[in-house]
Amino acid sequence: MFVKQISKKQLIVGTPAKVNLFLEVLRRREDGYHDINSLFQAVSLFDRLEFRREEGRSIRIELKQPVDIPLDDSNLISRAFHLMQKQYAIQYGLAVRLEKNIPVAAGLGGGSSDAAATILACNILFELGLSHREMATLSLNVGSDVPFFFSNGQAIVTGRGEKIHETEFPRDYWLILITPRLAISTADTYARLNLGLTESRGRFNLDGCQSVDEFISTLRLRGNDLERVHFSSLPELARTKQYLLECGALVARMSGSGPTVFGVYREAPDVERSSFWPPGDWQVNIVRPISLGSQYSM
């Protein structure tokens, strides 16, 4: 996350999307969540949130552009604020203006990223003095993906999302994100997964990958376990994956629980060709992996 502080009462946070470069679902836990093994990578697609401390104790969320998301207490921004308010007896309110650029419910972690930005904003505006580790631990109460956004931007994520091992694999490549306008429930996706197909596998790792070419070649050995839930019932997702491969992607797969499908390219793809884009109602973004090591600067 990247922060620009306007005053003691106001700041702006740019908070990124993430992709799952691979995703294994290992088992269903007793708490109802699933253990995963995944490589999360932050990418250069950002939501922009303006936060302002206000009198009172409520939160107000304003959208910069029309987006179909709830603005009540089911919104992760609101949930994150109420968590911080309860935990630290915050006696102020918060006004939030959201510029939503990350596709909604798309497997890119946009809601989780916004929640992390809210926790960070509360830490700064209300002078709580929390470390990144402390914020990450708190944020798990909002959502499984939220702790990742307090990392350096690339990490092997295990458990239900709370175990984050920061990594330094190569980042010198490009990605195309293609998001069809489909509504997919993360909870339903996990519920439909047949875990029997994954139980006999060893946990995948990328140890020893030094070059970009070696890294990309190793990524091909695994995919996203959740693809098989959707590709039979939503064949357009399988076609999108195949389309990216035909357009030169070295790796193509779904991110998270979808429906975004991404392709990895060694060089910047030639997106000027009119024939490049697939037919259909899509949102397309060209991004690069980023490091979040320069947090608190913007």
Specify the pLDDT at position 274. Answer: 47
What is the DSSP secondary-structure string of 127-160? T----HHHHHHHHTTT-TTGGGGGSSSEEEEEET
Specify the pLDDT at position 297. Answer: 40
Query: What positions carry a catalytic annotation?
Result: 18, 145
Query: Tens digits of per-residue pLDDT, 177-188?
Result: 999 888 777 777
60: left (phi over 0), alpha (psi -120 to 50) or beta: beta
Show the low-confidence residues of the chain (pLDDT under 50). Answer: 274, 294, 296-298
Specify the pLDDT at position 280. Answer: 66
Q: Which domains does the chain have, with CATH numbers?
A: 1-298 (3.30.230.10)
Specify the pLDDT at position 204. Answer: 85
Neighbour-count burial of 234, counting CB atoms closer than 10 A to its CB (0-12 exposed, 13-18 middle, 19+ buried): middle
Task: Provide the whole-model pTM.
Answer: 0.93
Query: Tens digits of per-residue pLDDT, 122-160?
Result: 999 999 999 999 999 999 999 999 999 999 999 999 998
Tokens 């984050």 found at: 164
